[in-house]
A = this chain, B = another copy of it.
Amino acid sequence: MTTANRLDITLGEAIFSLRAIRRIKPDPIPDNDLHTILDAARQAPNGANRQPWHFIVLRDAEVRKRFGAIYRVAWWAKRNDEGFFKPEDIPDHYKPAMALADDIGQVPAIVLVCTTAPGSRESVIPATQNLLLSARALGIGGTITSLHPKVSDDVRELLDLPDGAEVVYCVPLGYPQGRFGPVTRKPLSEVVSVDRWGSVPEWAPPG
């Protein structure tokens, strides 16, 4: 069965139920599903078809444990930058992310989306969205996270990254403990204009 055939939910269902999944069961993801997800990721548009991307999938328990420790340092470094220094400081909306930072080593697959060419970070992002949508089609959830420069050297060493390559995003993947579902967004009228900024079209109603 081809990858295209395996991704058989509608585009609408995939897009409209792609909630960020941060609570993930430890159950492993089959090889075949990882193949499907990454095969779909690499179909994404990119400038001049240079495909300046590389996906490192962490699956080995010891590697995930070591990466998990680094991730937790990175997560707290970002919070420190924002003025939060201990769990009691963390606002409620960050609590699921804090729990993920504690537990990411138990997530069955962690995809490090890398760029292979300086100045090409943006080129790997459409592929990351394909990856998340395709995972969703297979019942697999995740979320886009980034690391903190503080851990760059540790990550390079753990992953053996070559010169020129850089981790853009860290995407934990696995089966959700909760459910997929809709997201909350601003009204279309606040984010769409026609012909010039602030000219709201009648087809973009408030709501």
Contact = CB atoms under 8 A, between A and B. Distances in A.
Interface of A: 2-16, 18, 20, 31-32, 34-35, 38-40, 42-45, 47-49, 51, 53-60, 63, 93, 121-122, 125-126, 128-130, 132-134, 137, 143-144, 158-162, 165, 183-186, 188, 191-198, 201-204
Nearest to A185: B42
B125 A53 contact: no
Copies in the complex: 2
A143 B45 contact: yes
A40 B195 CA distance: 20
A11 B2 CA distance: 13
Contact of A35 (B53, B161, B204): B204
Contacts of A15: 4, 7, 40, 43-44, 130, 133-134
Nearest to A50: B186
